[in-house]
Amino acid sequence: MSETTLPLPDQKTGERLRIAREAAKVTQAVAADAIGVARTTLVAIEQGQRRVRTEELQKLASTYGTSANAILRREAIHLDLVPRFRRLPENQQATTDEAVRLLNKLVSAEVELENALGISRQPNYPAERPILPGDVKAQAEQDAQDMRDWLGLGPGPVFDIVSLLSLQIGIRVYVRRMPGKISGLFAYDDAVGACILLNGAHPLDRLTQTAVHEFAHFMSTRNRPEVVTEGEILLSREERYANSFARSFLTPARAVRQKFAEITSGQSHLTRRHIILLAHAFGVSREAMVRRLEEISLAKPGTWDWFTANGGISEDQVEAVVGASLKRHPHAQESLGLIPPRLSLLVREAWKRELYSEGQLARLLDLDRHQIREILDGIDAEIGEADDLLKLSH
């Protein structure tokens, strides 16, 4: 599993060097200085008009925080996904740049593994539904219900949104801890499809809400990707559509009304216990549940504000109602794993075929060796149990 490099056309090598430089936020002037050439020479290299020398390639790779092998591997994919940003404070720019870099790296890694294993991804994308004139909330509610029917979800809760989007629809979904207030990124590219990065530092119910919000952008405006930041005021029709779609998808009106009737039967007032049970039943936050009750006229406007002003609904109260063992894990990274299930299978298969070493996989996925070993845990037993009876036919 040595790190060999394969020759690429000069134009392809130059393009990869440009993408690596831009991802590292290195100017052409700095890069040219690193290899002792004029900036015009560096431009010629990036345009494929002048072949990069071996020592120059190594110095440039080091300057960009990567390796010559990573740039030259024939299977490697070098993407330039650029999510569309709403206006963000200047002090968040570094955070958003890092999030975009991470999304590009993870998508590139997954596509590279697919290429190395000879796998062709076959997404099951639903048809795009453009936002129409008129009541955007009504359209979002209808589109969300149609999508639940298309997926065969029925009235039940959605507890594993990552697997749903990844395995049933074919969207590339990643969960990683990110600093700052970014909740999620969505990007779409014809070559690699739809891609979502979610902040694993957020509680699972918030992450689920963000994932469906991003899915709504994919449904309605997939060629206009978006970045969502926590606490942002959302006023555009696209954002109002995405918010309404997410609420309707996770808490469908008919199912909520039915469960509400069951839980509050014979009761005279809406209580914290009712909210806790409803939120738990649908796998959403207490606030999201109350806001939805207000929206479909099962609670009076201002109900959540009243609870907030009167002590809120604490985690201790939740535990007292549903029990500690029934509380879902509050953080997404630990609950959903280091990488999505499908990508984990690709990593394990690539390692079993000795296509990549632990070190190569760690660099490819932006993880450390301990985390890679965690993903590969139990693989020796799988190899030892291999039997022709269990061999898959393709």
Secondary structure element (H or E) that encloses residue 88, with its range: none
pTM confidence score: 0.75
Give the span between the Cα atoms of 382 and 393, in whole angstroms: 18
Give the span between the Cα atoms of 132 and 203, in whole angstroms: 33
| Secondary structure (H, E, C), 135-185 | CHHHHHHHHHHHHHHHHCCCCCCCCCHHHHHHHHHCCEEEEECCCCCEEEE
Q: Cβ-count burial of 284 within 10 angstroms (0-12 exposed, 13-18 middle, 19+ buried)?
A: buried
**What are 253-311's pLDDT values in tens digits?**
999 999 999 999 988 899 999 999 999 999 899 999 999 999 999 999 999 999 999 99
Q: Which tokens in the block code for residue 245?
A: 């779609």
If you count them, how many residues does the chain have? Answer: 394
- Confidence at residue 388, expressed as pLDDT on a 0 to 100 scale: 52
Q: Which tokens in the block code for residue 338?
A: 């280091």
**What are 360-387's pLDDT values in tens digits?**
889 888 898 999 998 888 776 655 555 5
Q: Collect all residues with Cβ–Cβ distance below 8 Å to 69 and sequence separation of at least 6.
A: 3, 4, 5
- Confidence at residue 85, expressed as pLDDT on a 0 to 100 scale: 44
In the chain, what is the greatest distance between 2 CA atoms, to the nearest angstrom? 81
Tell me the CA distances in angstroms from 158 to 162, 170, 200, 208, one per residue in order: 10, 17, 18, 9
> 136-156 burial, b if ≥16 CB within 10 A, otherwise e?
bbebbbebbbebbeebebeee
Which spans in 251-389 are helix H? 253-264, 272-282, 286-295, 303-309, 315-322, 332-336, 341-352, 358-365, 369-375, 379-384
- Confidence at residue 6, expressed as pLDDT on a 0 to 100 scale: 44
Give the span between the Cα atoms of 243 and 209, in whole angstroms: 9
Q: What is the mean pLDDT of each run of 10 residues along the chain (394 residues)?
A: 54 85 87 93 92 88 80 58 52 75 88 84 90 94 95 88 91 87 85 89 90 92 63 70 94 95 91 93 92 94 94 89 67 71 89 86 89 84 53 53
Select from 70, 45, 4, 89 the least CA-distant residue to 366: 70
* Partners of 196 in beta bridges: 173, 186
182-189 and 227-229 strand pairing: antiparallel
Q: Which tokens in the block code for residue 217?
A: 């952008």
Q: Cβ-count burial of 335 within 10 angstroms (0-12 exposed, 13-18 middle, 19+ buried)?
A: middle
Q: Collect all residues with Cβ–Cβ distance below 8 Å to 240 and sequence separation of at least 6.
A: 136, 137, 140, 234
